[in-house]
Structure 1
């Protein structure tokens, strides 16, 4: 019996075949784009923060409310008591450089080592966000010279200028970054929302502590919060945007993936069924997963959506009954648990 091979898609000139299974152009070409985007946005962030600093210390210095910042610092000085001073020390230490480094390293290692599937993207997002804040902070202190408040300071003055508050900026980048990770799709339970809210309170407490201890002007603290928030925004835009890849999937990615799979692997027998929760899995995520499956010889995967009445268990069981050799589940914790319960032992 003769068999005809389907005509292979034509790869554009200069396109390279991926080096190994699973390395589709749709999954690898975004790294360079993400790096360029990160660099460009970082330059814009640094320019904005430096510009605001020069404005605060220059033309706008005598304009309200900047003109009453000294009175605010003196007001905090008059509020000092023994218990409040002790509490402010604890809050201030939450934004200390060593504290930030230790927590960042521990969380990033935990994201990579503890889950069954390492969460590299989330770990890189947090590390880049915290590091980016520090980099821009150093640029700011070099370009903007501002004296610290003329009050009795409770901490030794570091060599950096008063603008911006490094403690507040670092705390914003770390704890708000953790809040973002807690609220990523698939983890928006009530407990995670409460946790995210508590995490967001920490930078506010750090900022108040730095004012109370006479280390910064109010605009220094606000500038630190802005710097930390912008760092997370830049890191998230470069590393977490568009769901699964830092760059849009190439228009010809499916054709190239199919050709590469045909060259390296024979078609794997059996149906492939993907159970997806449509509320947390968008079309781009499905397309990227389809590319991965194609790279491993799993062609024509069938996507089955969960429903409110059946969060995934029924779809997974039906796939096994109908002879599927591979069942892939995409969704939140509830979807994964429901499908895993029905797939156990198969």
Structure 2
């Protein structure tokens, strides 16, 4: 089978499996929510509400139906009507409307965090790999281990104590000062909206509030990129074509940047896509620690409130992002790396 046909077959297979992956996520979330203790009706009406009122509420929410029928109804609405339902605790607002309201904050935090993670991780990994056996190499390895092992919530609180409470250099949390009017919503991203509106003061304020949470999350994620870059760059620097470049008298810096680093960054593409996708769904600790009004923080509130439609909707939304990112990265790798076989 030729490479083009094999690639077409692989892409078709991945696209075919995507709905099955999403169905698995939907099923797991649906069953886990109903297996955990707690009743959404009690969360709404309170534990001392009359039993008749509770039964009426259950009928209104469809929770009086058998679980298998609830599951089938949810799948029908989700996959045939693209309807995730309405939030139980948000005065009947649709799940899609809430996702549209909160997701831009999470996306903005994720973008800035991944930029920090890439810059720090690739820089430290490159320095470490280019100085094997030295203190810089040891320091780079320690950096990767420590940043990977540190709990996000602990690191976030320590940085809040240092830079917000102790030094008073950065805001403690939230996304924008409560005393100021937020930028006019265009994209939902405060940094972009303020620039589009020509409000540079709002832009610098939005960036100021982004620095602490994005740097915290970005630095802790940078250890992943540091290790990948260091390992692959060390292997690349020992390749035959690198030795040939040295024999031709090419400087070490040019070999490192123009030859070795390009090839060493290929695995980073895979990790970058999946890390960014997981950032969108895994920033919950960051958002809760810094009171960031994003979708992950809203998910945390929905879990506490036993808001079934909200939890299911956000998890499905994040799951769709991860599945889509995974497929896109696989296809991109297939085109840029001819060594991949299917």
TM-score (norm 2): 0.27
Q: Write 1 or 2 for the structure with the bigger share of helix.
A: 2
Q: Write 1 or 2 for the structure with the bigger share of strand.
A: 1
TM-score (norm 1): 0.27
- Determine which structure has more spread, i.e. the larger CA radius of gyration: 1
